[in-house]
Amino acid sequence: MCRVRHNEQQTTGNALAHHREIYAIRYATHTGRQPHQNYLTPDIHNEGTDLDYFVWLIRGGDGDILVDTGFNAIAASERARALMVNPADALKNFGVSPDSIRDVVITHLHYDHAGNLDRFPKARFHLHDREMRFATGRCMCHGLLRHPFSVEDVTLMVRHVYSDRVVFHDGDAEIAPGVTLHHIGGHSDGLQVVRVETERGPVVLASDAAHYYANMQRKNPFPIVYNIGDMMDGWNTLERLAGHPDRVIPGHDPLVRELYPRVAGIADAVALHKAPMRSFVEKDANKRS
Ligand SMILES: [Zn+2]
Ligand SMILES: [Zn+2]
């Protein structure tokens, strides 16, 4: 609890000027998953939860920032995922044209986070050094490790490097006031998460550093993992960056859409800068009492 108060105090100063809004936009889903697809070591508590796919729109400040770019209809059909809307088109519900996006954070280069790179003609892409190295290096000689990547997406990102449209990061980086990137690794070697100052304190978009809340809470990794130690350390880093478990947003959990308020008039979008309907911490405290 001390840490929570500490962080709330932190955000009442200068950071107030940099408070952002964050919207999670679900663009696809995958149903019928078995427990072993979601947990490295499934047990009787694990269910075959659906996997939702999101991009995240950060609003406020000098311009909108998009976190990840999702996949398109071709990738959806190749991988038998149910695409509801192309993420670039979903932005139009917010009155945002893909042409107006100047900054896109790519948390990592897996197909469900780094497709549609041709849909944002004026954007620069924020990528971690290690992710490009991983996605184009010797690890991609292994089918298991390259399976979540699309060679078309990775190639397009290389093309963007050659046209001065990629900003590489190595460690912590502030890309706009109140918006910082942090390397976690684990799931993919160069995975970075995004910390955003909001009215309820810093919110951390974990992307695939945690697919589900339960991966973190049960200390049970999602089975697509490059370095298990980095992934498990990453859960502690997420909580440290956020200052409170309720401010960590997993990358694929359908619970996110139940916990956060819907955005009026926009299907499949929730507001992450608002308080969740219930707290995981209170739930745990009640259990103990
Ligand atoms: Zn991934
Ligand atoms: Zn993913």
- Cα-Cα end-to-end distance for the chain: 16
Residue 136 CA from chain centroid, whole number: 22
Q: How far is the CA of 11 from the centre of ligand 1 (A)?
A: 31
**Looking at the domain assignment, is residue 269 inside a domain?**
yes
Q: How far is the CA of 208 from the centre of ligand 1 (A)?
A: 5
**Looking at the domain assignment, is residue 108 inside a domain?**
yes
Q: How far is the CA of 115 from the centre of ligand 2 (A)?
A: 11
Q: How far is the CA of 51 from the centre of ligand 2 (A)?
A: 9
Which residues touch 90 (CB under 8 Å, ≥6 apart)? 25, 27, 55, 268, 269
Q: How far is the CA of 276 from the centre of ligand 2 (A)?
A: 22
Per the structure, the complete domain to which residue 48 belongs is given by 19-178+249-275
**Any idea which ligand is nearest the CA of 185?**
1
Beta-ladder partners of 180: 174, 195
- 3-state DSSP assignment of residue 173: strand
**Looking at the domain assignment, is residue 263 inside a domain?**
yes
- pLDDT of the residue at 103: 98
- Identify the CA nearest to 270 among candidates 87, 20, 24: 24
Cβ atoms of 94 and 267 within 8 Å: the answer is no
**Looking at the domain assignment, is residue 82 inside a domain?**
yes
How far apart are the C-alpha atoms of 69 and 184, rounded to whole Å?
19
How far apart are the C-alpha atoms of 71 and 88, rounded to whole Å?
10
266: left (phi over 0), alpha (psi -120 to 50) or beta: beta
**Looking at the domain assignment, is residue 136 inside a domain?**
yes
Q: How far is the CA of 73 from the centre of ligand 2 (A)?
A: 16
CATH at residue 32: 3.60.15.10
Tokens of 74: 């071709």
Total domains in the fold of the chain: 1
Q: How far is the CA of 153 from the centre of ligand 1 (A)?
A: 13
How far apart are the C-alpha atoms of 38 and 246, rounded to whole Å?
21
Q: How far is the CA of 72 from the centre of ligand 1 (A)?
A: 16
Q: Could you count the other beta carbons within 10 Å of the beta carbon of residue 212?
A: 23
Backbone phi and psi for residue 52, each to the nearest 5 degrees, phi listed first = -95, 150
- β-pairing, 65-67 vs 166-169, is unpaired
Q: How far is the CA of 118 from the centre of ligand 2 (A)?
A: 19
**Any idea which ligand is nearest the CA of 251?**
2
**Any idea which ligand is nearest the CA of 149?**
1
pTM reported for the whole predicted model: 0.92
**Any idea which ligand is nearest the CA of 184?**
1
**Any idea which ligand is nearest the CA of 68?**
2
**Looking at the domain assignment, is residue 13 inside a domain?**
no
H or E, element range at 73: helix 73-78
Cβ atoms of 53 and 70 within 8 Å: the answer is yes
- Cα Rg, the chain, nearest whole Å: 18
Query: What is the 8-class DSSP label of residue 156?
Result: H
Q: How far is the CA of 161 from the centre of ligand 2 (A)?
A: 23
Residue at 271: amino acid letter: A
Cβ atoms of 36 and 42 within 8 Å: the answer is yes
**Looking at the domain assignment, is residue 201 inside a domain?**
no
**Which protein residues have their CB within 5 A of the ion that is ligand 1?**
110, 208
Q: How far is the CA of 108 from the centre of ligand 1 (A)?
A: 7
**Any idea which ligand is nearest the CA of 134?**
1
**Alpha-carbon dihedral sign for residues 197, 199, 202, 204:** negative
> Which alpha helices (H) appear in the chain, and where do they start and end?
2-10, 35-38, 73-78, 87-90, 129-136, 143-146, 151-162, 213-217, 228-242, 255-259, 280-288
**Looking at the domain assignment, is residue 228 inside a domain?**
no
Polymer length in residues for the chain: 289
* pLDDT per residue as tens, the chain (289 positions): 333 333 444 444 454 668 999 999 999 999 989 889 999 998 777 677 899 999 999 999 889 999 999 999 999 999 999 999 999 999 999 999 999 999 999 999 999 999 999 999 999 999 999 999 999 999 999 999 999 999 999 999 999 999 999 999 998 999 999 999 999 999 999 999 999 999 999 999 999 999 999 999 999 999 999 999 999 999 999 999 999 999 999 999 999 999 999 999 998 999 999 999 999 886 554 444 3
- pLDDT of the residue at 68: 98
How far apart are the C-alpha atoms of 284 and 13, rounded to whole Å?
31
